[in-house]
């Protein structure tokens, strides 16, 4: 007898794929088996309707599945199977993808609020939702290789788990109050008797700050409408003005934020990210000082659903850490590190295998600002023309992330923090070992940034592998090309790459670039006229320094003297004149800082990276004609016009708008000429400045009619660098 052997590749483990296949087999009257193995899902099927069965596999796949390929071959059957069964997993290693954590599905959410044995149970889940990557210790994805191995199933859960017709069939985190993880509330290390959810909700209503254990780590939470509680949280966390994320049910979020159709769709995505939306101004200013937008998310675990239902409002829900350090994940670690922040702890005893922050995204224009829980470890397909070689890329210094390439797929890791912090650097090293072991990755080459002082670069140098160093801004360009599946031989693209800084190919500091190139090489066509960075790294923290440099360049030194009378201007001017700790840079990020300082926006010091630029964006009024730049992308004429506008009492909203639009129009003119002259096939926009929605939309408007490539699922900031490094390394390997 002739049957068929079907290999299904992609994100097909931990998503209910085997019971889905089993149900299809019943529908089409087939016999055989389905199982998990290191390559994905393997099926042997026999029966008259195998063609219909194969077509249904990808057409009707489970919600969380991502089917990359369905490969069919012959299967010689000597003894016909009498039924279709789900067989035990086979093999070791990892050639398949791992499913990210998924927000609680509607069925499980309803179940925790309805009578039954899981009513009120904070760890309810099924094959369509719940923890995955945050509990995974190894592949194949079976309970014994997760942190749920410590919780033997009770008979009732075992019956659900073994029933192919049940939505919990082989749901590895399956649990109930009789056999699963336990929730409790504690103060000062001592458990408080009573309903943990009720106790936590009461504390929040009283204005307390709580540490809450979630999927990928602890959050610090308080009542978002209680300005005093928010202020106390800021003081304790030493986070003076960086916006806090919020969590609430959709109806409550709609009272404090403007939720459009696309915003609601993204909020409801199984990844459950923090979504940036317009604020209604209904919350205390201390929630997001100086911002016109709020970062909001829906509850994504039963614990969150239960807590919000009992609390009845919107909560601040920010990472449980000291600002700049990695998020806390362990109970003892939380008691040690968060005791100074939290008045109480909502704890549970399911271990977190790896820390994952909440992702941060925007629905319109679509972009991922922080790739994290819910998206990782989902993979991205490589563009046409790339081989299946294994490459490891280690990214940059800020917004650390690594990228593993294998079998034509790229796994861009979750956000690992800024590697200036020693604890984040330690986590970065652990993540390399964790991911390469988990995904059975054996890199042939490692790629890194040109900058010799980056921790990621030093890590790469110590690995003993062939090393490919990649210029920072070419990596940004290549990341955008790769996300858009630009073929290896697709031809040159004009890239506008605007960011804070990166070491240029000439040894100077770049950051406002027009590049012409692809994965194989590039040339720098034009760039923002460089200005000194007085004080070096201090210029990235104190915006007035950049304003001083740019105003002096524009012949407006007297304006700087008037605006910054108490600053050491002459000392810095001397240093700039002598080239002492004042390297020249074309940084667009520092240009934003200079304009912000000129308008009086946090001129003395930023409390977090990008604060001045974010506040400047929040001020911007409607689009229109922008400020003119001089030849060679010289911003001096713009500064002279801004000073005149300030003298004429033009509003800061108008000045901010004209700055954004002028910057966009100046760079757009450069790349449009390259496309219309036949030197470039399209334009790509990358670099952290393009996370500014106002700048992005202005640039797209200025390039109407030109083929455009933008970031949507890969961060435009340094969180996407590793992907660009990886494909550039692959391209170099191809050419050898």
Catalytic residue numbers read 18, 36
Q: How far is CA 153 from the centre of its chain?
A: 34
Beta bridge mates, 712? none
Contacts of 51 (CB under 8 A, 6+ apart): none
CA distance 679 to 670: 12
Contacts of 410 (CB under 8 A, 6+ apart): 379, 380, 381, 382, 403, 404, 482, 723, 726, 727
The full DSSP string for 711-730 is -SSS-SSGGGHHHHHHHHHH
Dihedral sign, CA of 553, 558, 562, 565? Answer: positive
Q: What is the largest CA-CA distance in the chain?
A: 93
The terminus-to-terminus CA distance of the chain in angstroms comes to 48
Name the helix (H) or strand (E) containing 74.
strand 66-76
Buried b / exposed e over 554-574, threshold 16 CB at 10 Å, is bebeebbeebbeebebeebbe
Specify whether the CB–CB gap between 470 and 450 falls below 8 A.
yes
Burial class of 483 by CB neighbour count within 10 A (0 to 12, 13 to 18, 19+): buried
Beta bridge mates, 409? 381, 406
Residue listed under structure tokens 């939720």: 259
Angle in degrees, CA 247, 187, 230, rounded to 5: 35
Q: How far is CA 464 from the centre of its chain?
A: 30
CA distance 66 to 62: 8
Contacts of 532 (CB under 8 A, 6+ apart): 549, 576, 579, 582, 583, 584, 585
CA distance 569 to 575: 10
Closest by CA to 97, choosing from 383, 446, 435, 433, is 435
* Alpha-carbon separation of residue 182 from 185, 270, 308, 629 (angstroms): 10, 24, 19, 62
Closest by CA to 719, choosing from 291, 472, 415, is 415
């Amino acid at each position: 007898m002739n049957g068929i052997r079907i290999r299904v590749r992609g994100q097909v483990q931990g998503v209910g794929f085997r019971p889905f296949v089993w149900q299809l087999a019943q529908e089409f009257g087939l016999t055989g088996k389905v199982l998990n193995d290191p390559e994905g899902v393997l099926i042997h099927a026999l029966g008259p309707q195998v063609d219909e069965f194969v077509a249904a596999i990808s057409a009707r796949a489970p919600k969380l599945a991502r089917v990359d390929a369905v490969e069919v071959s012959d299967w010689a059957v000597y003894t016909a199977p009498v039924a279709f069964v789900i067989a035990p997993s086979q093999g070791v290693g990892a050639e398949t993808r791992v499913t990210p954590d998924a927000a609680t599905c509607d069925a499980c959410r309803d179940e925790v609020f309805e009578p039954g044995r899981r009513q009120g149970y904070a760890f309810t889940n099924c094959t369509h939702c719940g923890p995955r990557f945050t509990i995974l210790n190894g592949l194949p994805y079976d309970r014994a290789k997760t942190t749920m191995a410590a919780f033997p199933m009770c008979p009732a859960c075992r019956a659900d788990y073994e029933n192919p017709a049940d939505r919990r069939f082989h749901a590895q985190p399956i649990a109930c109050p009789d056999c699963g993880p336990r929730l409790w509330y504690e103060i000062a290390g001592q458990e408080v008797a009573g309903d943990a959810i009720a106790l936590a909700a009461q504390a929040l209503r009283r204005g307390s700050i709580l540490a809450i254990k979630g999927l990928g780590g602890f959050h610090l939470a308080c009542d978002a409408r209680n300005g005093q509680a928010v202020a106390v949280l800021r003081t304790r966390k030493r986070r003076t003005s960086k916006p806090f994320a919020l969590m609430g049910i959709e109806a409550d979020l709609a009272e404090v934020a403007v939720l459009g159709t696309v915003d609601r769709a993204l909020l409801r995505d199984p990844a459950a990210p923090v979504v940036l939306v317009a604020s209604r101004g209904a919350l205390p200013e201390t929630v997001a000082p100086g911002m016109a937008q709020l970062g909001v998310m829906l509850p994504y675990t039963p614990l969150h659903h239960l807590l919000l239902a009992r609390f009845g409002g919107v909560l601040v829900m920010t990472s449980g850490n000291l600002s700049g350090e990695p998020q806390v994940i362990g109970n003892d670690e939380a008691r040690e590190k968060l005791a100074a922040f939290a008045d109480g702890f909502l704890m549970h005893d399911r271990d977190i295998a790896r820390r994952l922050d909440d992702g941060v995204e925007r629905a319109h224009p679509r972009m991922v600002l922080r790739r994290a829980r819910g998206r990782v470890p989902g993979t991205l397909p490589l563009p046409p023309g790339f081989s299946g070689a294994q490459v490891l890329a280690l990214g940059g210094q800020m917004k650390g992330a690594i990228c593993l390439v294998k079998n034509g797929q790229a796994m861009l890791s979750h956000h690992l923090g800024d590697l200036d912090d020693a604890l984040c650097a330690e986590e970065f090293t652990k993540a390399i070992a964790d991911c390469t072991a988990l995904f059975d990755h054996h890199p042939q080459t490692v790629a890194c940034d040109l900058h010799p002082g980056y921790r990621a670069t030093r890590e790469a140098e110590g690995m003993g592998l062939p090393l490919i160093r990649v210029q920072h801004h070419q990596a940004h360009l290549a990341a955008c090309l790769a996300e858009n599946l630009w073929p290896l031989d697709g031809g040159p693209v004009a890239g506008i790459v605007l960011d804070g800084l990166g070491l240029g190919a000439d040894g100077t500091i770049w950051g406002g670039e027009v590049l012409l190139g692809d994965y194989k090489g590039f040339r720098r066509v034009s760039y923002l006229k460089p200005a000194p960075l007085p004080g070096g790294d201090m210029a990235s923290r104190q915006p007035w320094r950049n304003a001083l440099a740019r105003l002096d360049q524009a012949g407006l030194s007297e304006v700087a003297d008037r605006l910054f009378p108490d600053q050491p201007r002459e000392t810095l001017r001397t240093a700039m004149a002598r080239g002492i700790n004042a390297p020249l840079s074309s940084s667009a990020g520092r240009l934003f800082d200079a304009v912000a300082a000129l308008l009086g926006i946090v001129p003395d010091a930023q409390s977090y990276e990008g604060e001045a630029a974010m506040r400047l964006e929040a001020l911007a009024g409607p689009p229109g004609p922008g400020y003119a730049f001089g030849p060679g992308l010289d911003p001096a004429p713009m500064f002279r016009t801004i000073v005149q506008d300030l003298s004429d009492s033009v509003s800061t909203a108008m000045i901010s708008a004209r700055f954004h639009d002028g910057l966009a129009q100046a760079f757009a003119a450069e790349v449009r000429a390259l496309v219309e002259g036949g030197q470039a096939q399209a334009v790509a926009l990358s670099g952290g400045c393009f996370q500014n929605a106002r700048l992005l939309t202005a640039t797209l408007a200025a390039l109407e009619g030109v083929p455009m490539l933008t970031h949507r699922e890969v961060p435009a900031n340094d969180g996407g660098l590793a992907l660009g490094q990886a494909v550039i390394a692959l391209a170099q390997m191809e050419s050898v």
